[in-house]
A and B are shown apart, each in its own frame.
Chain A
Amino acid sequence: GAGVSQSPSNKVTEKGKDVELRCDPISGHTALYWYRQSLGQGLEFLIYFQGNSAPDKSGLPSDRFSAERTGGSVSTLTIQRTQQEDSAVYLCASSFSVKNSPLHFGNGTRLTVT
């Protein structure tokens, strides 16, 4: 079946603009995760959604970052007033809620802030 789909695959934006990144999880996966992968660094956790529970936002680096998940499926990560340090690959993953269910990752959105 279809995997995790992210769009756009690439996004170039000017400093100060807002951007929206989209993630379509695998059908039936109730858990959804956003990670950020910066050049030369590992993967940084941003936010986690589990079913209808309140999301775990502990990884969001600033209040310019927000995310929502509508209808328990599609998620949008929004970055307001982008800064150059926001340039990174943003990865989305989804999984079943069953403990130890593996995370399935999308190919990411490469964000470049000029």
Chain B
Amino acid sequence: AQSVTQLDSQVPVFEEAPVELRCNYSSSVSVYLFWYVQYPNQGLQLLLKYLSGSTLVKGINGFEAEFNKSQTSFHLRKPSVHISDTAEYFCAVSDRSTNAGNMLTFGGGTRLMVKP
């Protein structure tokens, strides 16, 4: 079984400031890691994913995330946010086992609020 904890339910930040959205996970099996974004009244879109290899992963819209195995974390960062980045962000994991599907276990979400 897996669980995902997003430590901040809301993160207010001024435009052009850097931001970090925190994500920690717990799992009895090896997992893949994902970040999704949800804009108001829309479904979720994939921002980035970590499968293997380099622990620093770059995604769309200038976001990146770093996998830290020892701390079981996958924090999302952006060096300079825009008003348009205002959205809900979800961290998620899926089981690496070959006989498991691609089902995701999600964290509770972090609402990023970018202020002018």
Contact = CB atoms under 8 A, between A and B. Distances in A.
A7 to B, nearest CB: 13
B76 to A, nearest CB: 15
Interface in B92-114: 94, 98, 101-109
B102 A99 contact: yes
Interface string B33-69: 0101000011111100101000000000000000000
Q: Which residue, A3, A56, A97, A102, has most C-beta atoms of chain B within 10 A?
A: A102
Contacts of A97: 101-102
Contacts of A35: 106
Interface string A3-34: 11000000000000000000000000001010
Interface string A28-72: 000101010000011101001010000010000000000000000
A91 B90 contact: no
Contacts of B51: 100
Interface residues of A, number: 25
Contact of A100 (B32, B43, B106): B32
A108 B45 CA distance: 13
Given A42-B106, A43-B90, A100-B51, A31 B45 contact: no
Contacts of B101: 31, 48, 50, 56, 97
Nearest to B106: A43
Interface in A81-114: 91, 93, 95, 97, 99-103, 105-108
Contacts of A4: 43
Nearest to B100: A99
A102 B44 contact: no
Interface of B: 4, 6, 32, 34, 36, 41-46, 49, 51, 90, 94, 98, 101-109
Interface of A: 3-4, 31, 33, 35, 41-43, 45, 48, 50, 56, 91, 93, 95, 97, 99-103, 105-108
